[in-house]
């Protein structure tokens, strides 16, 4: 009886080991890739020219991970670069690489495929970097009667190092020669935030003197401003 019990225990233990082996290598040595899917969600977000990880999962016809399958990655829009174009799936059926986004803000795409399967598409939203410079978007070189508002509210555009417009950047406007910016008449700067297109707008009333007038604009935290000019003219007699 003791011998029979030992044989039963040994058989159960062997079956358990076999099942465990199947769990660690569920695909088996002869399984073939049947599907490929993203393992990182639908849409990624990162600053332009920075890196994100992308990963694909390869399964066989039974829905089991396929280990050791070659996955080919490619960039399809937006520029940038890949750390490598081929990676092998691990025991979970996943292959991953690093994707460095291009320098232009907006949607960018890459793909992954294996064994002739239809590619899975990765979409990344490349967001602008920090605002570093300003340029004039509108309202420069106007004329108005001294002491009144210029016809068009001046505007400036905040840009990152790659020339992408930057939203939600604080711009400081300072009217010179006794004028006002957004109602500030004490000579101090008035603040405005850039919109979704990176543009900040200010209401500028010229100083009381006839002649050239100046409005300064600078990014919050920077010293060097840019200047917008206007000509204050005398009222009609």
Domain ranges of the chain: 27-127, 133-233
pTM: 0.81
Nearest to 97 by CA among 70, 129, 128, 119: 70
CATH topology of domain 133-233: Immunoglobulin-like (2.60.40)
Residue identified by tokens 């003219």 is 233
Nearest to 28 by CA among 78, 68, 80, 77: 68
pLDDT, residue 223, reads: 84
pLDDT tens-digit readout, 205-221:
999 999 999 999 999 98
CATH number of the domain located at residue range(s) 27-127 in this protein = 2.60.40.10
Q: How confident is the model at residue 18 (pLDDT cuts 50, 70, 90)?
A: very low
Number of helices (H), then strands (E), belonging to the chain: the values are 1, 19
Neighbours of 211 (CB within 10 A): 12
């Amino acid at each position: 009886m003791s011998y029979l019990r030992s044989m039963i225990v040994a058989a159960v233990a062997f079956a358990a080991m076999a099942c465990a082996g199947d769990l660690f290598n569920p695909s088996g040595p002869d399984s073939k890739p049947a599907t490929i899917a993203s393992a990182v969600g639908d849409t990624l977000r990162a600053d332009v020219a920075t890196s994100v990880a992308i990963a694909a999962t390869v399964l066989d016809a039974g829905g089991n991970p396929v280990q050791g399958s070659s996955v080919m990655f490619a960039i399809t829009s937006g520029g940038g670069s890949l750390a490598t174009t081929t990676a092998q799936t691990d025991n979970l059926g996943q292959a991953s690489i690093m994707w460095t986004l291009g320098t232009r803000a907006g949607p960018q795409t890459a793909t992954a495929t294996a064994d002739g399967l239809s590619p899975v598409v990765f979409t990344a939203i490349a967001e602008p970097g920090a605002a570093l410079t300003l340029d004039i978007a509108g309202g420069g070189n106007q004329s108005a009667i001294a002491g009144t508002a210029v016809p068009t509210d001046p505007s400036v555009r905040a840009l990152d190092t790659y020339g992408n417009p930057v939203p939600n950047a604080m711009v400081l406007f300072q009217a010179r020669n006794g004028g006002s910016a957004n109602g500030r008449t004490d000579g101090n700067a008035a603040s405005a935030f850039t919109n979704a297109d990176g543009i900040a707008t200010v209401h500028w009333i010229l100083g009381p003197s006839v002649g050239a007038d100046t409005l300064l604009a600078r990014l919050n935290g920077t010293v060097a401003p840019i200047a917008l000019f206007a000509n204050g003219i005398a009222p009609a007699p």
